[in-house]
Structures are given as structure tokens and as C-alpha cells.
């Protein structure tokens, strides 16, 4: 199968989608041997959810819920997944993110992209979960509820709008899937235990993605000769530095770098107790636009551009 689930660069382990396809088929075969599961039944699992650190917008490194990972190999948060027991076919339901998220997360994937990426048979937005299951005439939803006897914690069952319209069984699945879980691949996330936030190490176009390094784009691009590298990281605060990978700025890279540098110096010169953070942000925007105009990257009156915040557009 062409699609690969794990890829952190050519030197890292690549795990193809096929093991997860086989996991789903073996689980479905196992369930079909019981006399408790009627035709047109579906296993329904919910993956781990995205979180932020307390009241900040920092997202800790995401680790997928183990059963969901075993069944689908999905590394992204906020997914649902279904397995058609009659056939073993896999269906993913990724979250549909607002278009504005592209500023923070880079290019947003479509359902067909997730289908190819994770080697499933179908993919729909999670907001359409109930609709799709109705169209498939799901006779029974098998959800996972099992006890961790060491801690007394139960695995969390899926929850979604419209689940009350289906017949749900939470007792059959756990003893069946637990016999397969030893095949689950555990992914080790190493490094310093506590940083200010997940390191953002973008090169090339990824330097424009504000939260590059999230689960869907985990610092995976190879740094190429001529790339600008943006290293947004820090032990206790945000310290961002940008440098050309080969040590030499091109003329365009130098212009972009000096634009940001001048806005930074302007803000530092204006900063004092009592000033508004918003005013400092707008000052930086104004300097950006003025410098971009000098470089010929934008045209028009800076103040008019400020009114429509055209500095947020890709130029």
C-alpha cells in the first residue's frame, strides 16, 4: 500500500497502513464468530481529543488513544472511526476545521486526503457521523467500555450528536479487542519533559504556519539548501530566530528578514508601562506593510491597507 502512516524523515521508521487494515479485518472476523452481533453492525471508536495547557493556546504533544491507534493508525486528534463488521471496511470521521485554522496549522486536508493517508475505505467529516451511519442502516453500534483494573478507570465510549437514535452495545467489544491489543505499536516521544511549548521548527513554506509542529504537521519536512529556517522555541518563553539553512540570505530572504527586524525594533522602542498590547501589534503591522511596499510586494496606501488588515493575506 502506498500510503504511510509514520514518517519523520527518511532516517525514521515508516509504518505502512496495511497493519491497521489487517487489525480491522481480524477484529471484524472475530466479531462475526459470535452470535451476539447482527448483520449491518459497526464498531465505533473515538480517538483522543486535542487539549490546551490550562488557559493558554499551547497544545501539548498529542498521543493517540491506544485502541483507536491500533485500529486506524491515526495520529491526529478529534477523530472518530467505524469498522463495518460484515466486511472489515474502515471509515474515518475527521473534524472539519474552520478555514481560518490554515493560518495556524498550514494547509487543511480534505476527507479524501485522510482516506489516502490512513488507508481506510471511506472518510467523512465527523459532523456527518450520525447521517452516514443512518444511511448505512447501522443495526447496532459496538462501543468500547472496559475497566483498567489497576487504576479503576474505564475506557471512554464515543459520544456524538444523534447517538441516542442508535442501538448501542458497550459489553461485546472490549473482551474481543483486548486480545488483539498486544499488536499495538507504541510510539515514544522523547526530549525534555517540560518546555514552554512544543518546538516549532519550520523550513521553507512551513515557516509561515504559526503552530507548525502540531500533530498533523509534526516538524517532518526535510530542510533543503536555500530554505529559511524558523526556530520558534524556548525553555520558558517564546524566543524565535530565523536563519538561512546554508548560512547565506538571498536578496528576497534578506528583505523579508529586515522587514520583521525593523518592526521588532519599532515595538521595542515604543514599549513602556501602560501601552496597549493591541497598539504594539498594530504598530508592527504598519511597519510590515511599509517595508513590504518598499519591496514591491504590496501596493497602495499603508493606512488604507491597515483598515482591511491586508497584512494577514499571503503576499
Cα separation, 303 vs 228, whole angstroms:
30
Domain boundaries, the chain: 4-183, 200-312
- Per-residue confidence (pLDDT) for residue 213, from 0 to 100: 82
**Strands across the sheet containing 41-46:** 122-123, 90-93, 80-84, 41-46, 140-142, 168-169
pTM: 0.73
**CA 68, 125, 40, 155 torsion: positive or negative?**
positive
CA distance linking residue 293 with residue 111, whole number of Å: 39
Of 39, 121, 123, 44, the closest CA to residue 86 belongs to: 39
- CATH topology for 200-312 is Creatine Amidinohydrolase (3.90.230)
What Å distances lie between residue 32 and 18, 87, 225, 244, CA to CA? 21, 10, 54, 58
Q: Is residue 133 a contact partner of residue 82, using CB atoms and an 8 Å limit?
A: yes
Q: Which has the closest alpha carbon to 20: 121, 108, 111, 112?
A: 121
237-251 burial code (b ≥16 CB/10 A, e <16): eeeeebebeeeebee
Give residue-wise pLDDT tens across range 222-249: 889 999 999 887 666 787 889 999 999 9
What is the per-residue pLDDT for 1?
A: 40
**Residue 218: predicted pLDDT:** 79
DSSP assignment letter at 221: P
Is the domain 4-183 a CATH 3.40.350.10 member? yes
Residue 53 φ then ψ, to 5° = -75, 110
Alpha-carbon gap, residue 121 to 41, rounded angstroms? 16
Please identify every stretch of the chain with a pLDDT value under 70, giving residue numbers as ranges: 1-8, 147-151, 176-195, 234-236, 310-315
Amino acid at each position: 500500500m502506498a500510503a504511510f502512516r509514520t514518517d519523520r524523515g527518511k532516517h525514521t521508521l515508516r509504518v505502512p497502513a496495511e497493519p491497521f487494515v489487517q487489525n480491522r479485518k481480524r477484529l471484524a472476523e472475530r466479531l462475526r464468530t459470535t452470535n451476539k452481533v447482527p448483520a449491518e453492525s459497526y464498531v465505533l471508536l473515538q480517538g483522543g481529543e486535542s487539549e490546551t495547557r490550562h488557559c493558554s493556546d499551547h497544545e501539548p504533544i498529542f498521543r493517540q488513544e491506544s485502541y483507536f491507534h491500533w485500529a486506524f493508525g491515526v495520529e491526529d486528534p478529534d477523530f472518530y472511526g467505524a469498522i463495518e463488521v460484515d466486511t472489515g471496511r474502515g471509515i474515518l470521521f475527521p473534524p472539519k476545521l474552520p478555514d481560518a485554522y490554515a493560518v495556524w496549522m498550514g494547509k487543511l486536508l480534505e476527507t479524501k486526503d485522510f482516506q489516502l493517508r490512513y488507508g481506510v475505505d471511506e472518510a467523512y467529516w465527523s459532523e456527518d457521523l450520525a447521517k452516514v451511519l443512518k444511511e448505512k442502516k447501522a443495526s447496532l453500534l459496538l462501543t468500547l467500555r472496559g475497566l483498567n483494573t489497576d487504576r479503576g478507570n474505564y475506557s471512554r465510549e464515543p459520544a456524538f450528536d444523534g447517538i441516542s437514535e442508535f442501538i448501542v452495545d458497550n459489553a461485546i467489544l472490549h473482551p474481543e479487542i483486548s486480545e488483539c491489543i498486544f499488536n499495538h505499536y507504541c510510539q515514544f516521544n522523547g526530549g525534555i519533559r517540560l518546555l514552554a511549548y512544543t518546538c516549532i521548527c519550520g523550513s521553507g513554506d512551513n515557516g509561515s504556519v504559526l503552530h507548525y509542529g502540531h500533530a498533523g504537521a509534526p516538524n517532518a519536512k526535510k530542510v533543503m539548501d536555500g530554505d529559511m529556517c524558523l526556530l520558534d522555541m524556548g525553555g520558558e518563553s517564546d524566543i524565535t530566530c530565523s536563519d538561512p539553512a546554508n548560512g547565506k540570505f538571498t536578496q528576497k530572504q534578506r528583505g523579508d528578514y529586515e522587514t520583521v527586524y525593523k518592526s521588532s525594533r519599532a515595538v521595542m522602542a515604543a514599549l513602556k508601562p501602560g501601552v496597549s498590547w493591541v497598539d504594539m501589534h498594530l504598530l508592527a503591522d504598519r511597519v510590515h506593510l511599509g517595508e513590504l511596499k518598499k519591496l514591491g510586494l504590496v501596493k497602495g496606501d499603508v493606512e488604507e491597507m491597515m483598515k482591511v488588515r491586508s497584512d494577514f493575506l499571503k503576499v
